[in-house]
Amino acid sequence: MNKTGLIISREYLTRVRKKSFIIITILGPLLFAAFLILPTWIAQMEDQSITRIAVVETSAYGDPLPDSLQFFRGVIPDRENLKFDYLTSMGLEEMLKTYEATDYDGILYLPQSLISAGNRTVVEFYYRKLPSVSVESYISGSLENYLFNNKLVVQNVPASLIQSLETNVSLNRINWENWPEMVEDATDLKRGLGFVVGLLIYFFIFFFGAQIMRGVLEEKTSRIVEVIVSSVTPFQLMLGKIIGIGLTGLTQFLVWLILTFGITAVAQQFIMPNPADVTTEQIAPTSIMEDNALQQVPEHPGISNNSASGMMSGIFRQLGQINIAYVIIAFVFYFLGGYLLYGSLFAAIGAASDNDTDTQQFMLPITIPLILGMFVMINASMNPSSQLAIIFSMIPFTSPIVMMARIPFDIPFIEVLVSAVILILTFMGTTWMAGKIYRTGILMYGKKVTYGELWKWIRYKA
């Protein structure tokens, strides 16, 4: 065991001292934190830039109209970063000729014939600065509401009647265990968290497993392994490489976890406003015309000054409903279990091959369960209690990925326990089998190994 410890130490220290390891370890948390922080930061940067749009309303003959004759004046209300100027002195053609000399980002043309337009109509918008999707949606939504209400008036249909007939239904998901407190639902966040951690498991297993295979292959082709096995047994060498590289991956993950939470917490203090500071006026929808309740236009992402920051504040609030410590412990276990299982197989492939080309014939049976696990993980994150998700979270070759997609949903502990026991027993079996292949293949050169040959090596008695 002392010799195995030396191999573990060598594999671990050699990798953590590499510049590539240090760079990736530092860049990883920055990228993860950026995914959380950038949406809010970008939204705040956009809020500092005001979009000014000129609204040109003309008569049926294309003539400009004074304030008193304009139908659409005030129909599209201003926002903090979106301003509308309703022109009265020039028509569309004249405005387009002088557009270059103005500072407007766009021109919205609203002929009065639009009032009698059919169910599908097109409004012309001339731009210098391309509007965002949210701005386009806000403008079209405002016009749609106004035209709809105007048609009600023409048809002598009371707006209050239409309002009383409209019914919008949405599900407020509440875990029955939280019903007395009516805790905010965090299902969507749990799905996202499960998908991310499952994806990380897949990435780590594949990345560090491939490192084991390449490391074994390099030592074999350079004949260094012949010197090493003169002092240690092949099984000790294989086990040392697997554990050493696995500890490298675990170290990298823990550093990523600590730095990501640290960077995100600091950035939250400086970038994201306190939810208590968001006033009712800031989040309430603005009515198009104050005397008509039907003409209210809902907020659109990117229009409200606090939409992105409010969303991020909600995410951090919902995180409190998830047992993060349990998720981290489960991640560490399934990462180690899945990595050790697949790592032993990758080591066996490296020992049985002479070059990268030879490894391809043995990679397919290993990669298929991993890829299958990725597909099932998507289903498990959407429906963690489905039979498909339960079955594949028990199969040891897919359970590290699929089970992590289910863990945030507080699934029965007995399912996690059974899955963990099966994974441990399978790891022990694959390690024994890989050791048999490794012992024979590590010193064999110049022969293209077949599956039948591998089966013979496994059956050899010590």
Alpha helices by DSSP H, listed for 172-275, are 187-221, 224-228, 234-271
Q: Residue 262's domain spans which residues? A: 2-39+186-277+316-459
Over the stretch 423-434, which tens digit does the pLDDT of each residue have?
999 988 888 888
Question: Could you tell me which residues come within 8 angstroms of residue 86 by beta carbon, excluding any fewer than 6 positions away?
Answer: 55, 57, 67, 70, 72, 73, 74
Confidence of residue 300 (pLDDT cuts 50, 70, 90): very low
pLDDT at 143 over 60: yes
Residue 188 burial by Cβ neighbours in a 10 Å radius (0-12, 13-18, 19+): exposed
pLDDT at 383 over 70: yes
Q: Does residue 303 belong to any structural domain of this protein? A: no
Q: Does residue 265 belong to any structural domain of this protein? A: yes
* Residues listed for the chain: 462
Same domain, 403 and 451: yes
Sheet holding 124-127, edge to edge: 82-87, 51-58, 106-111, 124-127
Same domain, 154 and 243: no
Please, are residues 173 and 185 in contact by the beta-carbon 8 Å criterion? yes
Q: Give dist(CA 216, CA 404) in Å, integer.
A: 30
Q: Which of 162, 195, 212 is the last residue in one of the domains?
A: 162
Same domain, 255 and 388: yes
Same domain, 213 and 327: yes
Question: Could you tell me which residues come within 8 angstroms of residue 269 by beta carbon, excluding any fewer than 6 positions away?
Answer: none
- 395, two tokens: 């199969």
Q: Which of 115, 147, 162 is the last residue in one of the domains?
A: 162
Q: Does residue 179 belong to any structural domain of this protein? A: no
Same domain, 231 and 371: yes
Same domain, 106 and 75: yes
Q: Does residue 267 belong to any structural domain of this protein? A: yes
Over the stretch 207-231, which tens digit does the pLDDT of each residue have?
888 888 888 887 777 777 767 767 7
Q: Does residue 290 belong to any structural domain of this protein? A: no
Same domain, 259 and 144: no
Confidence of residue 393 (pLDDT cuts 50, 70, 90): very high
pLDDT at 302 over 50: no
Same domain, 32 and 62: no
Residue, of 102 and 223, whose pLDDT is higher: 102
Q: Does residue 85 belong to any structural domain of this protein? A: yes
What is the CATH number for 143?
A: 3.40.190.10
Same domain, 347 and 248: yes
Q: Does residue 197 belong to any structural domain of this protein? A: yes
Same domain, 8 and 135: no
Averaging pLDDT over each range in 5-9, 320-324, 340-344, which range is the top one?
A: 340-344
Amino acid of residue 55: V
Q: How many structural domains comprise the chain?
A: 2
pLDDT of amino acid 292: 42
Same domain, 365 and 243: yes
Same domain, 327 and 427: yes
Q: Which of 162, 196, 213 is the last residue in one of the domains?
A: 162
Q: CA angle 153-159-162, nearest 5°? A: 120
Using alpha carbons, select from 133, 63, 135 the residue that is nearest to residue 92. Answer: 63
Over the stretch 368-380, which tens digit does the pLDDT of each residue have?
998 999 899 988 8
Over the stretch 436-454, which tens digit does the pLDDT of each residue have?
887 777 777 666 777 777 7
How do strand 106-111 and strand 82-87 relate by DSSP bridges? unpaired
- Dump the DSSP string for 344-359: HHHHHHHHH-SSHHHH
Q: What percent of the chain has pLDDT over 90?
A: 7
pLDDT of amino acid 396: 93
Q: Does residue 192 belong to any structural domain of this protein? A: yes
